[in-house]
Amino acid sequence: MDVALVSDTHVPSRATDIPAPFRERIETADHVIHAGDFDSEGTLSNVRAMSARFTGVAGNTDPRIGLPDTATVELGGVTFVVTHGTGSHAGWHDRVATVVREEAEGDAVGVAGHTHEVVDTVHGGVRLLNPGSATGASPAERATMLTATVGDGDLSVSVHEL
């Protein structure tokens, strides 16, 4: 199963659209995970329309977008806990790992955004993924996203940047 992981699109306040190469990856993925900061209900609708299966959470710029603060989804034998990671940059890893431990029993992967920086690391025994900003919204230096291949509990992650 192919999974597209995106975050921090910030359309329309900081960007006009998700870049075409990333839209193609979203459209062809079996499932899309968006870690928040869509920035508008229109952007949420557009991302949902691009994918047959979707999991998303609200970011700090999405107070009335109708999404939860956290979501858990099992794909290909891998449990993903999705949150935005809102708060200080300095405590991001601890905050996200804590949410993963609180929301899931056993091994789970945390997916969060907020910092606009790509992360693929293990922190306190929890694998954390941050796809960065799919539009390159400031303070990002470039547009980034992650794709994951999952199956039988295995997870392989690739970084894509423009």
Annotated domain spans of the chain:
2-161
Q: What is the pLDDT of residues 29-45, one digit of tens each?
A: 999 999 999 999 999 99
Q: What is the pLDDT of residues 50-95, one digit of tens each?
A: 988 999 999 999 978 999 999 999 999 999 999 999 999 999 999 9
CATH code given to domain 2-161: 3.60.21.10
User: Is cis: bond before 12, omega within 30 of 0?
Assistant: yes
Strands 31-34 and 54-56, how do they pair? parallel
Question: Does position 101 have pLDDT exceeding 90, yes or no?
Answer: yes
Mean pLDDT of 86-110: 95
What per-residue confidence (pLDDT) applies to 45? 94
Indicate the pLDDT class of residue 137, thresholds 50, 70 and 90: very high
What per-residue confidence (pLDDT) applies to 64? 86
- How far apart (Å, rounded) are the C-alpha atoms in residues 34 and 122? 20
Cβ atoms of 33 and 111 within 8 Å: the answer is yes
What per-residue confidence (pLDDT) applies to 106? 86
pTM score, whole prediction: 0.97
Mean pLDDT of 112-126: 97
**Could you tell me the two tokens for 121?**
């690391």
What per-residue confidence (pLDDT) applies to 48? 95
Q: 3-state DSSP call for residue 17?
A: coil
Query: What is the residue whose two structure tokens read 């997916």?
Result: 111
- How far apart (Å, rounded) are the C-alpha atoms in residues 115 and 50? 24
